[in-house]
Amino acid sequence: MSQLPTPAEVLPHRPPFLFVDEITELIPGERAVGRWNITGTEAFFAGHFPGRPTLPGVLMCEAIAQVGAYALLSSPKFANRLPLFGGLDKARFRRQVVPGDTLTLEMRLERLSSRAGKGQGRALVGDDVACEAALMFVIADAAD
């Protein structure tokens, strides 16, 4: 099996806002699975929460969206485009995520046109669902 490009080779995101460490599965334009290793050194833990670091739920949603963007941008049809959040529905947070956890991020693109799309995603720690949500996005032209 060939090595998949790193998230930084496909996504426009950069640290400190690149939350996907690696992509482990990919069907371009359809689905992707990735990982985010939560180290505890991330800057947001200093304030969320002192003495009890907890990964913010909104960042789990962003990480799921980044895996979806990887799936989308891996399709030649959408190369050099820019997927932007258009909405978030039915978000549920089912487990606290703390330093030392590894999030498995899954995103399945469901409805897709040249201008927008929808998908279902979730984040897991082991077999436990930490977050699940329906995501909507618009597809813009990337700046040169």
Q: Which residues fall within 8 angstroms of residue 119, CB to CB, at 6 or more apart? A: 68, 107, 108, 109, 110, 134, 135, 137
Please tell me which residue in 13, 35, 48, 108 is annotated as part of the active site. Answer: 48
Alpha-carbon distances of 66 from 51, 99, 108, rounded to whole Å: 29, 20, 12
Distance CA 32, CA 38 (A): 19
Residue with tokens 């669902």: 129
Tell me the torsion sign for CA atoms 45, 14, 86, 112: negative
| Known catalytic membership, residue 13 | no
Write out the catalytic residue numbers: 48
